[in-house]
Amino acid sequence: MARPRRRHPALAGIEADWEAAVSVPPEDTEIEALAATFGDDVAAAFSHVRDRVALDPYPGILRGAHGTLSAGAGNAWDRSLLLAELLGAMG
């Protein structure tokens, strides 16, 4: 029988930040419009986030996907949220 997986206490805050960041209302169509420019090209979406969204190191999730796109910068967490939103909008 497998033991229940224990989570590190530091992850509790990150998980709460993640839930708040991914629950952004869908009214803003900026991400959907950008995703439409990539068509079905997942590599193009990845390259866009990697090359055109600057890395701005800070702790935790701060901007979320929409804020990171608007700012043109984010940390690894926020950039990955942006990429996830782009891929989700691409279908």
- Residue 88's contacts (CB-CB under 8 Å, 6 or more residues apart) are none
Give me the pLDDT at residue 29, please: 77
63 close to 47: Cβ distance less than 8 angstroms: no
The answer on pLDDT for 27 being more than 60 is no
Average predicted confidence (pLDDT) for the chain: 85
Whole-number Å distance between alpha carbons of 84 and 67: 14
Indicate whether this model's pTM tops 0.75. Answer: no
Whole-number Å distance between alpha carbons of 86 and 37: 10
- The 10s digit of each residue's pLDDT in 37-70 is 999 999 999 999 999 999 999 999 999 999 999 9
